[in-house]
Amino acid sequence: MPDQPAARSLTVLFLPESAYGPTNQCIGLGDLLVKRGHRVVFASESSWAGKLEPLGFEERLVDLAAPDPDAGEEDAGQFWTDFIAETAPEFRKTTTEQLSTFVKPTYQALIDGAVYAEPALKKIIDEVRPDVLVEDNVVLFPALATSGAPFVRIVSCNPLEVPGDSIAPPLSGLAQDDPASWAPFREEFERTHKEMWETFNAWVVEQGAAPLPYLEFMPRDNAANIYVFPEEADYVDRRPLDGSWHRIDSSVRRTDDEYVLPEAVADRPEGSALVYVSLGSLGGADVELMQRLVDALADSPHRFIVSKGPQADRIKLADNMVGEQTLPQTKVIPQVDLVVTHGGNNTTTESLHFGKPMVLLPLFWDQYDNAQRMHELGFGVRLATYEFTPEELNGAIERLLGDTELRARMDAMGARIRERDGLTRGADIIEQVGLSHAPAR
């Protein structure tokens, strides 16, 4: 049984990127490891203080920048919520234009955080003495790779993050059947990122870690590499990976509270479907977009559950909707018929896990890649996030809800994904890596 104690108790140190997506990913895996009798420690950005210990984890807090003495207590992941809110105008640009105005500054912010946190992380590792270290991020914290304990990388973004010649470039949202469009994007990525990568790579080597692959910010040569994406949507036919890579089809955490449908949406007229709407914890910071989205759905005959995001008090819902600032998403999605999403990897893979079609409104990063992949595979409809009309949005919802063949196919696919139990497989991989190495203590 997956929750039985292991042969030896391990100390596992997780370091997720501070946003909710990667942190929730690690919470799900860590929860299983705790249930098996392992000690799980989170080295988390300071705004997560007090949020992880109640789940059974030890907390070691890390500042990614000098603390502001005038700042009050922050919500978990507040840095990225503020960052996204401030840069939201950039999301109206093409993915190629965003390389210089959003993607590069985001990488630089992540790099700055890694550099600032390096001394503190080394101290934490010396104190915790982990048997295995796990990072879910898009830039390396060298202290994790130089500790002497095995290092596991998690890719919780779209797997295009691991590039290849025969697949579309990551962060582009370009179609797999249009390779002629890939070269200009790759050239612009190299032009805008090469100098920053060279500086970061030199610093990584100075810390004692191995050089990084060209224009990549995470290593590939690790004890194990885990990525989260269902087999039915993966790119392995075009970009095979070596034996260090392990796909887990989904990683649906079991720590969310149960969700009882409010009467306003549970009691629906005949023919009225139930739809979950979420632009993620970061996308929800764009209040103007969120309000335009819910207004476009106000006259729909269907009912909606809306994850309102960090600016919840500024978003007015229509009479056919209920919502909260945050919702236990993994308990909501199984109860709905369709998902309207930004295309974040957690929401995308969770929707596939439960067999739900999607309308996708990508905002930034790998959301374009997920939206394009779902669109080209027929699992959803990708719309222009800032240009869609109410007619387009509601029309896409009606088409997907009315496609009984698609819904039956996705329902069967979801059953297969759930049977493969990616969360348990991910915990198994981390556990096996730790048990196969000599104890750190």
Domain boundaries, the chain: 11-252+421-435, 263-420
pLDDT of residue 84: 65
Two structure tokens written together for 23 = 């942190």
Cβ neighbours of residue 232 closer than 8 Å, sequence gap 6 or more: 352, 377, 413, 416, 417
pLDDT of residue 305: 97
**Contact by Cβ (8 Å): 345, 156:** yes
Are β-strands 274-278 and 303-307 bridged in parallel, bridged antiparallel, or unpaired?
Answer: parallel
SS3 310: coil
**Contact by Cβ (8 Å): 420, 249:** yes
Q: Is 402 exposed, middle or buried (CB count within 10 Å of its CB: 0-12, 13-18, 19+)? A: exposed
Around Cβ 231, how many Cβ atoms within 10 Å?
Answer: 14
Q: Where are the beta strands (DSSP E) in 308-433?
A: 321-324, 338-341, 358-360, 380-382
pLDDT of residue 399: 97
For residue 118, what is the DSSP state? Answer: H
**Contact by Cβ (8 Å): 412, 231:** no
Give the largest Cα separation in the chain, rounded.
Answer: 65
**Domains 11-252+421-435 and 263-420 alike in fold:** yes
Distance CA(433)–CA(26), nearest Å, equals 16
Question: What is the full per-residue pLDDT of the chain (441 aa) written as tens digits?
Answer: 446 666 789 999 999 988 778 888 899 999 999 999 999 999 998 888 899 999 999 999 999 888 766 655 656 556 656 766 677 778 889 999 999 999 999 999 999 999 999 999 999 999 999 999 999 999 999 999 999 999 999 999 999 999 999 999 999 999 999 999 999 999 999 999 999 999 999 999 999 999 999 999 999 999 999 999 999 999 988 988 999 999 999 988 888 889 999 999 998 999 899 999 999 877 887 888 999 999 999 999 999 999 998 888 899 999 999 999 989 999 999 999 999 999 999 999 999 999 999 999 999 999 999 999 999 999 999 999 999 999 999 999 999 999 999 999 999 999 999 999 999 999 999 999 999 986 655
CA torsion sign for 392, 397, 403, 405 is positive
pLDDT of residue 343: 96
Distance CA(90)–CA(103), nearest Å, equals 10
**Contact by Cβ (8 Å): 29, 427:** yes
Buried b or exposed e, range 130-145, using 16+ CB within 10 angstroms: bbbbbbbbbbbbbbbb
SS3 347: helix
pLDDT of residue 71: 59
Distance CA(142)–CA(385), nearest Å, equals 36
Which of 296, 332, 289 has the alpha carbon at shortest distance from 314? 289
Name the fold adopted by 11-252+421-435.
Answer: Rossmann fold (3.40.50)
Architecture of domain 263-420: 3-Layer(aba) Sandwich (3.40)
**Contact by Cβ (8 Å): 343, 374:** yes
Distance CA(138)–CA(220), nearest Å, equals 12
pLDDT of residue 1: 43
pLDDT of residue 76: 57
